[in-house]
Chains A and B, each alone.
Chain A
Amino acid sequence: MFPKSFHIKPILGLLPYIIGIVALGLIPPLTGSTYLAYLVGLAIVLAIFAMGFNLLFGYTGLLSFGHAAYFGAGCYAFAMLMKYYHIQSFELLFLGSVIIATLTAAVIGYVCVRYIKIYFSLLTLAFGQVEYALVVKLYNITGGTDGIRVMMPTLLGFTFKDKGFFVTWPFYYYILAIFTICVIVLWIILNSHFGKILQAIRDNDVRVNFLGVSERRYKWYAFILSGVFCGVAGALFAPLNGHIGPEHVYWGFSATPLFIALIGGHRVFLGPIIGSFIYVLVRHYVTAFTIYWELFFGAIVILFTLLFPYGVCGGISLWLARRMKSAKTSL
């Protein structure tokens, strides 16, 4: 009853990925527009976040409702380390944020992986909301609903004054570099022995125990890995956006990676990446022109779940597979 899975052998090898990264790299020189650089940067950050989320959802079959908690942990770690410990170097802050986000994911994950299906989702939701309540309540540390302002960190020791320049050039390429590394690392993980076991867990988690693999421990490893990617996304997002607040921990924000994964195609490696770009661009121009953006977005979600359940990339892969007949293909 479910669509054909996708043999991981990409159609044209690594070509589409290289073209994509190069194209993104050309945006600042060609357009020079701070605004577009900011938008693409945001899309990349959300792509990393969605890739981390999809490692659990699309590849291990675990639907988490509280993933904003780990993204938010990354953001707040970055902001608070900068504010209270006066660390300026991005690299140090980045490391600290990723570690703290991963620890949060590890602790919450350890408890949540004991449960299956809807219990797992609701437990992650509950933990996410407790973190949200903490962030709002400890308002003399976290600034509560006013949030915390994030200054410009130093990149590789260089300090910058003009935020416009910072976003368009140095930090843009920094994000692009980290994004490329994340894509490569995730691609290797998903095609590794561990990745194959995760996909087995997705299809039939109980039977995996009878292969000699502890289903619970491997789900936990997947949860921690997902936390790493969320931490990376959170750490990149804080300086890019310049300000973080409790809405980045609220469960409403946890729906974003689910949107992105399902629009892009959660059973395809490229799905969350393409989905994120579509999401950011569509969302952005819709909110600019109408106050009824929720109606527009609700309609898109209903359309995709009914007509394109495999998402954009899933649909394209299926179409290509049918036309190529022989090899099972995938983007």
Chain B
Amino acid sequence: MFEAYPAYILNGLLYASLLFLLSSGLNVVLGVLKILNLAHGSFYVLGAYLTTSFVALFVATGLPIYLVYTQILVAAAVAGIIGFLFEPTLLRPIYKREESYQLLLTFGILLVLSDVTKIVWGLGAKVAPEPFKLLGSFTIGGIPFPYYNLLVIAVGFVVFLMLWFFFAKTRTGKIIRATATNREVTTSLGVNVPRIFTLVFVFGCFLGGLAGALAVPMQSIFPGLAMEMLILSFVIVVIGGMGSLEGAFIGSIIVGIARSFGIVYFPEIELAILFIIMIIVLLVRPQGLFGRRE
């Protein structure tokens, strides 16, 4: 039985990487704009649907097949641009408003986007298998494991490093963190805060779209996933600590591994395992693993 352990751990890391990518977008927007973007799940769905269309188009063009992975980034970018439509028009007027208004507005966007995807891509399940099939799989501990999954784990890790480096080391990163801590002061320093907010929101949507784009080749995308993905990103953001990237990264790994071994040893638990972890963290350390107490 133990020879399957490496496979379970790899599966755990795979789920952790997807969780981190999914929640990083929400985390960035929450950390800087102090907005809990309920429509974040819709950008995951958009990224996925766009990938299915772009990959299908790409395969039709007959270009060398190994370039199909570019379509994943293209789809994520388009998802980010769609985010650009919403931020200046709808979100900017209510930054000063009470928190419940921001939540409700993003909930409205979630509803609108879920029907838009239905109108554009229809009601059926869509797949984009080429990137997944291309790399084949190897066996570890007697159990086959696709190479594509390793790619996703790697991307998750790389994105974490890039984000950490961006916010800790680069100038713009520091400016964004300053805006997050105190808008008024940063505005007085001559920083164009509204533009920073738009940039950050678009970047959040891009990350959400990237998670969807990376996941769809392994899975499939069908209407109604936006709410599921939103709850998953909630759990990670809470466990890791609001707006904390290190927290989300470590939190994703804990949840990914816990879920993987949970399925193996307690099959009944799969439905509630995420929420139980979330409640334990909220009770023991409400600010999350790495968050700061407000």
Contact = CB atoms under 8 A, between A and B. Distances in A.
B110 A298 contact: yes
B268 A137 contact: yes
Interface in A1-42: 1-2
B237 to A, nearest CB: 9
B218 interface: no
A2 B103 CA distance: 17
B112 A295 contact: yes
Interface string B80-96: 00000000001001101
B90 A126 contact: no
Contacts of A301: 104-105, 107-108, 111
Interface stretch (B191-199, B207-215, B276-284): B276-284
B234 A292 contact: no
Contacts of A115: 282, 286
Interface string B208-245: 00000000000000000001000100100010001000
Interface stretch (B61-69, B113-121, B148-156): B113-121
A125 B274 CA distance: 12
Contacts of A300: 108
What range describes how many residues of B lie at the interface? 35 or more
Contacts of B242: 118
Interface of A: 1-2, 57, 63, 111, 115-119, 121-123, 125-127, 129-130, 133-134, 136-137, 251-252, 255, 258-259, 262, 292, 294-295, 297-302, 304-306, 309
Specify the main secondary structure of chain B where it touches its partner. helix
Contacts of B99: 63, 117-118
A29 to B, nearest CB: 38
Contact of B275 (A57, A121, A129): A129
A292 B282 contact: no
A130 B286 contact: no
A296 to B, nearest CB: 8
Nearest to A112: B282
A294 B123 CA distance: 14
B278 A126 contact: yes
A125 B231 CA distance: 9
A14 B67 CA distance: 72
B105 A57 contact: no
A133 B272 contact: yes
A305 B112 contact: no
A258 B231 contact: no
Contacts of A122: 234, 238, 278, 282
A292 B119 contact: yes
B131 to A, nearest CB: 30
Nearest to B242: A118
A318 B23 CA distance: 40
A94 B36 CA distance: 38
Contacts of A63: 99-100, 103
